[in-house]
Structure 1
């Protein structure tokens, strides 16, 4: 006769589902790579005409520089401007203290964009089970913050082009200069576009609701094992065994 003691009692549990998104993680890494590339040996602004440096990039402002304020000159409006260039690792003509500070702010924003993208990458790879981290990952908050940093960088780039034109006009009134963007600006813009793709991947990922997860765990937890399907009880007679045997046959 079948006895349940031959089979151990088993409780089945559902493993925690990892909430991951490898496609979004790839876009996060691409954002970091593009941001690092824009900080490398890439020009951000090109100045044509005048006596200015032809290329201006953010890597020129990593080291601390200074302005020699001992030599000043008056512009066409009578205001004093710095005539001696900025010296981080060489002379940079047509760079004012305001432009130098804005370039340093761009460097800071680039690092903030990489940090937020790195956080989003780890959230997509690890797949957090904590509710707060899961909400942050599913809503694409890290990549959205990265997009905001990139938008701020692009806005500063446009403002710097205006300041460069004004600086050249004040320092060299007789020269005409044309300021344009170079590969660094386009690369950081591409990083922002890739961050938008990462946000879309997280927002449009099909998610299972918490109600479905709870029901699935409850159904499997209620199944105690193979003894659930046993119909006999050890130590008790079945209905057939309780019927007395028929009387002996007599001709």
Structure 2
């Protein structure tokens, strides 16, 4: 018996070897699952800190605000496998933080359950081609039919020329791989009438708590104009 590649020769007859082991080529395949998830969690934490530092918060304020977990809308928390949603809100409304909280919850689920989908974060500015190509390049093709993926496509409005295409690809991906879910974020509704989730308005209690976390002490009365602005505020503007 001699062999070469995917074919072996037995008694003069060519027989295809269906058990060839290929080398791992993606970040997920190259790591143990716990190591991969730990890395996702660390990078996610870095994104949260970066947004707050970019909004002018000090490191101490950043640390305090990160003790408060963002509330995820029910429509995202209960998103079914094989489906997708578009999270919409104005600049600074907290879309990315809401998506990040959903993503971090998926990391927690995946750490507890080896059969849970693999989380994938996809900044739309890094999409150079199809969404599916990016996902396969991150976790490998074998993950999709077996485990599926939980994907966030963040910042759809940053590539308005590609927004409609990205939404179509998300719909097609979720339909093709029914164990997967996708959340996309955008300032614009992108001419979509279904599967849209608006960023929810903060309750006054939540707004007061966030102001206290940023300031480090309880905030008193701010005056009519600032009080009105707080009531209109959707989410933290970082």
TM-score, normalized by length of structure 1? 0.24
Higher-Rg member (1/2): 1
Which one scores higher on RCO, CA 8 angstroms, separation ≥ 6?
Answer: 1
The answer to which structure has the higher helix fraction is 1
TM-score (norm 2): 0.25
Higher strand share: 2
